[in-house]
Amino acid sequence: MTDPVTALSDDLTDAVAHDTVEPPRDCPLCPRLAAFREEQRLAHPDWHNAPVPVFGDPDAWLAIVGLSPGLKGGNRSGRTFDGEKGGGTLYGTLLAFRLAHDHEALGPQEIGPEDDLVLDGVVTIDAVRCVPPNNQPTKEELRTCRPFLAGPLAALPELRVVIALGEDAHRSAVKALGGKLPKARYAPMAEHRFPSGVQLIDCAPLAQDGVAIEAAVLEAVVARALVLRSGEAAPVEDVAAP
């Protein structure tokens, strides 16, 4: 029987070998999500209602990984974290750190589909690209969509740091980066280093129990990412060593 680690390795190999960066608009791999997507297309034909693409800079050194698009968030606009509790705070934090531009005239609360936000050195991506019912993908859906997380991360030549927003995003990011979960337990502000040199920082999800993440939390995590990028931080233990 194929063990989970071997299966994961096959997924990663496939993702890189086939340059799996963006799923097709009608990706059929998760039947429950594909059916939900069709329902939303009928109910809201003017919404995106498709896998939400990676957003940001192809030369990114930092990738921010969320769980899945919100029904009226990324699923509606087609951009990660739009219209979601904490999404404006996240993009506002990137603006404050000059990791985004062309948006100075607007406040974070006005970030949305009409803006012209450009990320500098950063991409945002969800671990599951299609909106799930009740905002909760299954473990199987997380596994199935993982090549569409591993592929884009592997396609970023300058990638140095990944921030995972919440435990499920953390689990998918660890596996997508080739790590092993028992060696990389989730805890807010925990750091994990991979043999590639990429470092992962855990962060709380953008919203929990309907309450958006505090800006101070995101500021601390982004500030730490900048330190890790500079190479001035003390090394932490590899999470994928055999």
CA distances from 136 to 32, 61, 117, 130, 140 (A): 12, 28, 27, 11, 12
Q: Looking at beta carbons only, is 81 or 148 nearer to ligand SF4?
A: 148
Residues 161-200, one symbol each (x = binds ligand SF4 by CB under 6 A, - = not), give ----------------------------------------
Q: Quick one: how far is CA 201 from the chain centroid?
A: 12
**Which region, left, alpha or beta, applies to residue 121 given φ > 0 means left and ψ of -120 to 50 means alpha?**
left
Options 81, 148, 186, 194; binder of ligand SF4; rule CB under 6 A:
148
Measured from the CB atom, is 29 or 204 closer to ligand SF4? 29
3-state secondary structure of 196: coil
| Assigned token pair, 201 | 């920082």
Among residues 8, 12, 15, 30, which is the contact residue for ligand SF4, using CB under 6 A? 30
**Nearest C-alpha neighbor of 177 from the set 196, 202, 157:** 196
Tokens 């069709």 belong to: 38
CB of 72 to ligand SF4, least distance (A): 18
Write the DSSP symbol of residue 238: B
Token pair listed for 79:
């951009």
130 binds ligand SF4 (CB under 6 A): yes
Report which secondary-structure segment, H or E, holds 202. Answer: strand 199-203
Residue 143 found at the interface with ligand SF4 (CB under 6 A): no
Question: Of residues 23, 53, 83, 92, which one binds ligand SF4 by CB under 6 A?
Answer: 23
Q: How far is the CB of 143 from ligand SF4 (least distance, A)?
A: 9
- CB nearer ligand SF4, residue 98 or residue 139: 139
Q: Does 149 bind ligand SF4 (CB under 6 A)?
A: no
Q: Which of residues 34-53 bind ligand SF4 (CB under 6 A)?
A: 34, 51
The answer to whether 67 contacts ligand SF4 (rule: CB under 6 A) is no
Q: How far apart are CA 103 and CA 198, in angstroms?
A: 29
Interface residues with ligand SF4 (CB under 6 A) are 23, 27, 29-30, 33-34, 51, 128-130, 141, 144-145, 148
